[in-house]
Chain A
Amino acid sequence: MNSPVKIWRNQGKIASLLGKKGVIISWTMVRVPPAGFSDQAPYPVVLVQLEGKRIMAQLVDPPVGGQVGKKGLIGMKVITVIRRVVQPSTEGVIPYGIKVKPLW
Chain B
Amino acid sequence: MKIYIIGASTTKFGELWGISPRTLAREAVGGALTDAGIKPAAVEALFVGNMLSGMLGGQEHLGAFFADELGLGVPAFKIEGACASGGLAIHAAVAGILSGQYKTVAVLGVEKMTDHKPEDVATALMGAGSEEERLAGATFPGLYAMLARAHMAKFGTSEEQLAAVAAKNHFHATLNPNAQFHNALTVEQVMRSSKIADPLKLLDCSPISDGASAVILTAKSKGQRVKSKDVEIVASAVATDTLGLAQRESLTELKATKEAAKKAYKQAGIEPKDVDMAEVHDCFTIAEVLAMEDLGFYEKGKAAKAIASGDTTLGKSKKLVVNPSGGLKGCGHPVGATGVKQVVELVEQLRGTAGKRQVSGVNVGLAHNVGGSGATAVVHILKRA
Task: Say whether A38 contacts B119, CB under 8 Å.
Answer: yes
Q: Tell me the bound Cα distance from A99 to B136 in angstroms.
A: 7
Task: Say whether A56 contacts B197, CB under 8 Å.
Answer: no
Q: Tell me the bound Cα distance from A45 to B143 in angstroms.
A: 9
Q: Which of A13-47 contact B (CB under 8 A)?
A: 25-38, 40-41, 43, 45, 47
Task: Say whether A30 contacts B137, CB under 8 Å.
Answer: yes
Task: Say whether B119 contacts A33, CB under 8 Å.
Answer: yes
Query: Out of B123, B145, B198, B200, which one reaches A35, CB within 8 Å?
Result: B123
Q: Which of A44-99 contact B (CB under 8 A)?
A: 45, 47, 54-58, 71-72, 74, 85-86, 95, 97-99
Task: Say whether A28 contacts B149, CB under 8 Å.
Answer: yes
Tally of A interface residues using CB under 8 Å: 34
* Contact A29 B153, CB 8 Å, known A1-B134, A37-B137: no
Distance in Å: Cβ of A21 to nearest Cβ of chain B: 16
Distance in Å: Cβ of B175 to nearest Cβ of chain A: 30
| The stretch of B44-52, B65-73, B239-247, B343-351 that contacts the partner chain | B239-247
Q: Does any Cβ of A come within 8 Å of B251's Cβ?
A: yes
Could you say which residues of chain B place their CB within 8 Å of the CB of A74? Answer: 149, 153
Q: Does any Cβ of A come within 8 Å of B231's Cβ?
A: no
Q: Does any Cβ of A come within 8 Å of B135's Cβ?
A: yes
Task: Say whether A34 contacts B137, CB under 8 Å.
Answer: yes
Q: Which of B161-209 contact A (CB under 8 A)?
A: 194-200
Tally of B interface residues using CB under 8 Å: 34
The residue on B at minimum CB distance from A96 is: B135
Task: Say whether B136 contacts A56, CB under 8 Å.
Answer: yes
* Contact A31 B197, CB 8 Å, known A56-B245, A71-B153, A74-B153: yes
Q: Tell me the bound Cα distance from A27 to B152 in angstroms.
A: 12
Q: Tell me the bound Cα distance from A45 to B126 in angstroms.
A: 14
Query: Out of B135, B138, B153, B251, which one reaches A30, CB within 8 Å?
Result: B138
Q: Which of B110-146 contact A (CB under 8 A)?
A: 118-120, 122-123, 126, 132-139, 141-142, 145-146
Q: Does any Cβ of A come within 8 Å of B150's Cβ?
A: yes
Distance in Å: Cβ of B312 to nearest Cβ of chain A: 26
Distance in Å: Cβ of A79 to nearest Cβ of chain B: 16
Task: Say whether A56 contacts B138, CB under 8 Å.
Answer: yes
Could you say which residues of chain A place their CB within 8 Å of the CB of B136? Answer: 45, 56-58, 85, 99
Distance in Å: Cβ of A71 to nearest Cβ of chain B: 7
The residue on A at minimum CB distance from B145 is: A28
Task: Say whether B139 contacts A32, CB under 8 Å.
Answer: yes
* Contact A28 B198, CB 8 Å, known A56-B245, A58-B137, A85-B137: yes
* Contact A32 B141, CB 8 Å, known A38-B119, A58-B136, A86-B135: yes
* Contact A47 B142, CB 8 Å, known A35-B123, A74-B149: no
Could you say which residues of chain A place their CB within 8 Å of the CB of B245? Answer: 47, 56
Task: Say whether A85 contacts B146, CB under 8 Å.
Answer: no
Could you say which residues of chain B place their CB within 8 Å of the CB of A45? Answer: 136-138, 142, 146
Could you say which residues of chain A place their CB within 8 Å of the CB of B118? Answer: 32
* Contact A35 B135, CB 8 Å, known A29-B197, A47-B251: no
Task: Say whether A72 contacts B139, CB under 8 Å.
Answer: no
Could you say which residues of chain B place their CB within 8 Å of the CB of A58? Answer: 136-137
Task: Say whether B153 contacts A28, CB under 8 Å.
Answer: no
Could you say which residues of chain A place their CB within 8 Å of the CB of B139? Answer: 30, 32-34
Task: Say whether A35 contacts B120, CB under 8 Å.
Answer: yes
Task: Say whether B195 contacts A31, CB under 8 Å.
Answer: yes
Binding site for A on B (CB under 8 A): 118-120, 122-123, 126, 132-139, 141-142, 145-147, 149-150, 153, 194-200, 244-247, 251
12 sampled A-B residue pairs with Cβ under 8 A: A33-B122, A34-B126, A34-B134, A35-B119, A41-B137, A56-B133, A56-B136, A56-B246, A57-B132, A57-B136, A85-B136, A98-B135
Binding site for B on A (CB under 8 A): 1, 25-38, 40-41, 43, 45, 47, 54-58, 71-72, 74, 85-86, 95, 97-99
- Given A28-B145, A33-B139, 7 more pairs with CB closer than 8 A: A25-B150, A28-B142, A28-B200, A30-B139, A45-B142, A47-B251, A56-B246
A-B pairs, 5 with minimum CB distance: A28-B145, A26-B146, A54-B246, A37-B137, A29-B198
